[in-house]
Amino acid sequence: MNARTAGTGNRNSEAEDLLEVEDLSVGYRTKRGFMRAVDGISFSLKKGRSLGLVGESGCGKTTVGMTLMGLLPPNGEVRGGRILFKGEDLVQKTEEEMQRLRWNEIAMIFQAAMNALNPVQRVEKQIAEAILTHAPDLPEEEALRRVEGLFQMVNLPGERMHDYPHQYSGGMKQRAIIAMALACNPDLIIADEPTTALDVIVQHQILEEIKALQDDLGISLIFISHDISIVADVSHDIGVMYAGQLVEYGSREEVFGDPRHYYTRALLASYPTLAGEKRDLVPIPGETPSLVAPPSGCRFCDRCDAAAEACSLERPDWLEISPTHRVLCARCLSS
């Protein structure tokens, strides 16, 4: 299968893959039928690297994060593929085994994290509890000491440990959530739109925080957002998702410097920036296709400038632009 060979294509570098997702398909049972939210995606992540998953709402990026955490809702189902984390397949793991992994090795910073804190418990207590759940033998004072260290790490003033969440500003809550994600020294953090509700200046501070922590602690990061400018700021590698598929994958410089998929180009052309000459924004025409009955050919071809007749009929193949840059498009070389 094409996706599989492409997914393991850049194995020859020195660092080891922490995570290898191979041909993963995930969907939800709905009244209208089975919705293929994620359809055959493959990527890998090395230790200490960050991968940005970017795409419009409904493209499947959050489903990828939830599947990695083993937190799919009851109507969700993995229909195929493997998730190799440190060489073990997470898809085969029982809920009990996943519980041991979750937060200890893979942690997540959720969308709308501001509401993820318990309003009637002091922040220090919540974070200490997270630590103690995974290390029940630890004395409580030791756990609180660790919380102190975590506060320092995310630049929260130590004297605010005893506060309740409502006494925090939005940015402080987000820092507390990051502290909680770091509580058990995970190897992989999945951050799903962690700064969406924040103001620009606070957003900038939180992103800098995440980058610094990732560098210092050597954590691997999957950063999920619809905002390409944010993803570009924090990620080494970029995966562009569209309608449940990964359509372009490569280093940040390659994907944004030399975008090949027409969807990636369209995303960039629709995004206002402050840099360079002011240019007209080009909206992407049309709407995303149904994922219950997705088109058989290229899923973007209805909205694509360059689509040829064959595009709507045949499933496109992965094309390798460089050892670290690949595109799911039949016509990306023609212009």
Q: By CB under 8 A, is residue 56 in contact with other proteins?
A: yes
Query: By C-beta, is 170 or 295 nearer to other proteins?
Result: 170
Q: Which residues in 264-330 belong to E strands, given as ranges?
A: 318-322, 325-328
Q: 154 vs 137, 174, 210, 252, 332, CA distance in Å? A: 26, 10, 9, 26, 42
Taking CB under 8 A as the binding criterion, the range among 130-138, 172-180, 203-211, 322-330 that sits at the site for other proteins is 203-211
Query: By C-beta, is 139 or 283 nearer to other proteins?
Result: 283
Q: By CB under 8 A, is residue 273 in contact with other proteins?
A: yes
The DSSP secondary structure of 259-275, one letter per residue, reads --SHHHHHHHHT---SS
Residues facing residue 22 across a β-bridge: 82
Question: By rule CB under 8 A, what count of residues binds other proteins?
Answer: 36
The Cα 187–Cα 221 span in angstroms is: 9
Q: By CB under 8 A, is residue 278 in contact with other proteins?
A: yes
The Cα 99–Cα 95 span in angstroms is: 6
The Cα 50–Cα 205 span in angstroms is: 18
- State which of residues 218, 271, 296, 313 lies at the interface with other proteins (CB under 8 A): 271
Query: By C-beta, is 144 or 232 nearer to other proteins?
Result: 232
Residues facing residue 220 across a β-bridge: 188
Task: Please choose, from the candidates 110, 104, 234, the residue with its C-alpha nearest in 3D space to the C-alpha of residue 182.
Answer: 104
Here's the x/- map for other proteins, 157-196, by CB under 8 A: it reads as: -------x-xx-----------------------------
Q: By CB under 8 A, is residue 282 in contact with other proteins?
A: yes
- State which of residues 140, 199, 215, 258 lies at the interface with other proteins (CB under 8 A): 199
- State which of residues 43, 256, 300, 318 lies at the interface with other proteins (CB under 8 A): 256
Cα 223 to its chain centre, rounded Å, is 4
The DSSP secondary structure of 82-151, one letter per residue, reads EEEETTEEGGG--HHHHHHHBTTTEEEE-TTGGGGS-TTS-HHHHHHHHHHHH-TTS-HHHHHHHHHHHH
- State which of residues 12, 74, 275, 335 lies at the interface with other proteins (CB under 8 A): 275
Q: State residue 194 phi and psi, 5-degree precision.
A: -70, -15
Here's the x/- map for other proteins, 224-253, by CB under 8 A: it reads as: --xxxxx-xx------------------xx
Taking CB under 8 A as the binding criterion, the range among 21-29, 32-40, 273-281, 291-299 that sits at the site for other proteins is 273-281
Residues that bind other proteins (CB under 8 A): 56-57, 164, 166-167, 199-201, 203-205, 207, 226-230, 232-233, 252-253, 256, 266-267, 270-275, 278, 281-284, 287
